[in-house]
Amino acid sequence: MKSFIRTLALAAATLWVASAQAGTRIGNEYCEDLFSGSTCSAGICILYSAAATPTDAYVRIKHVACDASTLASNPLITARLQVWNGVPNTSGATVLKQLTVRVPQPSVASSNNYYSIDSDALFLVGAGRYIALYLGLSGSAGMGVNYCGVTGDLVTPQ
């Protein structure tokens, strides 16, 4: 019983340390990232990873997902997966490349549009980069965003 408890404690500590490091790496093959950072202004929201991609591997993004809501009079018109060389919208950080993501037709309730972006992708991100999702509205009114993120594989540089 003691060895089971020690094994369980070691596994919990390992998972805690792994999640505290980069937040995107799970083992040496798979990665996922729920975006915890965001900047929103004038009809644009950029949701981004809290940490850079691993420095010893590339990330091959295979799926992007996001739930967002807007006023019905101010629809979501564009979504782009982006790669930045630093924390998005900070001094010196720039977009290195981006990929357009399809914006689905919204579900409408009361005076709001509800979007569920759920899209496959094939997008390679270099080591030490920041992944972001850019969402643009037709006007400057606000937007609500929940649970945006990406999943993919880790690729060893050749």
pLDDT, tens digit, for every residue of 5-29? 333 333 333 333 333 334 466 677 8
In a domain, 6, yes or no: no
The candidate with the shortest Cα–Cα distance to 78, out of 110, 42, 104, is 104
Q: How many distinct structural domains can be found in the chain?
A: 1
Which pLDDT does position 7 carry in this prediction? 35
Across the range 136-158, mean pLDDT stands at 86
- In sequence order, the β-bridge partners of residue 136 are 44, 78
Q: Which residue segment(s) compose the domain that 28 sits in?
A: 23-155
In a domain, 89, yes or no: yes
The candidate with the shortest Cα–Cα distance to 127, out of 62, 93, 83, is 83
In a domain, 140, yes or no: yes
* Coil, helix or strand at residue 18: helix
C-alpha torsion angle, residues 16, 155, 148, 128 (rounded to 10): 80
pLDDT, tens digit, for every residue of 48-71? 988 999 999 999 999 999 999 998
Q: Which is higher by pLDDT, 11 or 81?
A: 81
In a domain, 31, yes or no: yes
Which CATH number characterizes residue 31's domain? 2.60.120
pLDDT, tens digit, for every residue of 96-142? 999 999 999 999 999 999 999 999 999 999 999 999 999 999 887 77
In a domain, 14, yes or no: no
